[in-house]
Amino acid sequence: MRRLLLVLIASGIVLTFAAFRLPLGVVAATPDHPAAELSVGDAIVLGLVEGITEYLPISSTGHLIIANHAMHLDSTAPLSDADGKPLWFKRPSARNPGGEPLTLKLAADTYSVVIQFGAILAVGLLYWPQLLGICLGLLGKDAAGLRLLRNLIVAFMPAAVIGLLLDHWIDKHLFSIAAVVAAQISGAVLMFAAEQWRKKSATSANAILNPADLPARRALGIGFMQCLALWPGTSRSMTTIVGGYFAGLPPARAAEFSFLLGFVTLTAATVYKGYQSGAAMIAVFGWAHVLLGIVVATVAAAAAVKFLVSYLSRHGLTVFAWYRLAVAAVLSALYLL
């Protein structure tokens, strides 16, 4: 319990620091300062928020939206170059005469996705035996590794398809404080229900002790649960752990499958977002602080993963549901009321 309190307090301190610090890293878009710079402090804060919250069932995207808002990194004002000419994310064309100007918000939203690479590295370092088993499975030398790969692919596909179809709509309508508050509350309710269901089903004959032994249809069910996390603030980790509960996995194994599925899903999301708008992000922020955020996120995510597996085995998800309700209440008081 003390470890949990330290993790949640650390998350709260990071967000509090973000909320009350002066936005020293943000430079106005003027002819003298054509874009915006991310300070070392900004990069560290965002890296910590990403790393701590990516695998905890409290929503990294939701916390990053809050942090970006608190640090004034969500401005939609068009940026301009040294001569006062507009910087373009998508230049005007015959199909899009107005074009799409480059903004601080676009760069910051991309940054929030790209630093997930740190969380990917953390899982790669901690779960390399499972990843090695998958590689051996592809060579016909590890049947369990091949089954695990099948389940990860099956679970990945629903979010991949639906995410591609709804990507633009989600970016336009759901990256807001109000959406995060609603998702935090909805997720908390789902977690309370899942814990009650798990406790009643703890001795079920359908229990499965190894993610590789999941039937493909149950892996697909986890995949559809992951689709709920396309709503920022819901938490990919939370939905896949809950999906693991319903599929018959005990808490620690559900978390393990969630982490490995995250390795696949986050890699795809990072590559896609980096290809789509990575160049614009680098044009605004540069490489140095992007790499710094990734390094910080890697260290923080590794610590969070080790903690969560140990904690879930003994206590389950309930305390995280209460934390989500507390976050929703604080955000409502600060930004919505």
pLDDT of residue 238: 95
pLDDT computed for residue 69 by the predictor: 86
Mean pLDDT of the chain: 84
pLDDT, residue 282, reads 83
- Which comes out higher in pLDDT, residue 189 or 83? 189
Mean pLDDT of 100-121: 88
Flag the least confident range among 18-22, 45-49, 86-90, 107-111: 18-22
Q: What is the distance between the alpha carbons of residues 260 and 253, in angstroms, rounded to a whole number?
A: 11
pTM recorded for the entire structure: 0.81
DSSP 235-273: -HHHHHHHHHHHHT--HHHHHHHHHHHHHHHHHHHHHHH
Residues in a beta bridge with 67 = none
Residue 319 pLDDT level (bands cut at 50, 70, 90): very high
Note the pLDDT of residue 190.
96
Report the pLDDT value the prediction gives residue 14, as an integer from 0 to 100. Answer: 41
Per-residue pLDDT of 138-184, as tens digits, reads: 999 999 999 999 999 999 999 999 988 988 888 777 878 888 899 99
Res 324: pLDDT = 95
In 3D space, the residue among 237, 222, 233 whose CA is nearest the CA of residue 182 turns out to be: 233
Q: How far apart are the first and last CA of the chain?
A: 33
Residue 295: pLDDT over 80: yes
User: Pick from 6, 8, 4: which is nearest to 325 by CA?
Assistant: 8
Is residue 121 within 8 A of residue 298, CB to CB? The reply is yes
pLDDT, tens only, 12-59: 444 334 333 333 333 333 333 435 567 888 899 999 999 999 999 998
By 3-state DSSP, what share of the chain in percent is helix, strand and coil, each rounded to 5?
A: 70, 5, 25
DSSP string, 285-314: H-SHHHHHHHHHHHHHHHHHHHHHHHHHHH
Distance CA 48, CA 86 (A): 32
Dump pLDDT digits (tens) for 178-228. Answer: 888 999 999 999 999 999 998 887 666 567 889 999 999 999 999 999 999
The string of pLDDT tens digits covering residues 215-271 is 999 999 999 999 999 998 899 999 999 999 999 999 999 999 999 999 999 898 888
pLDDT exceeds cutoff 70 at 4: no
Three-state DSSP state, 103: strand
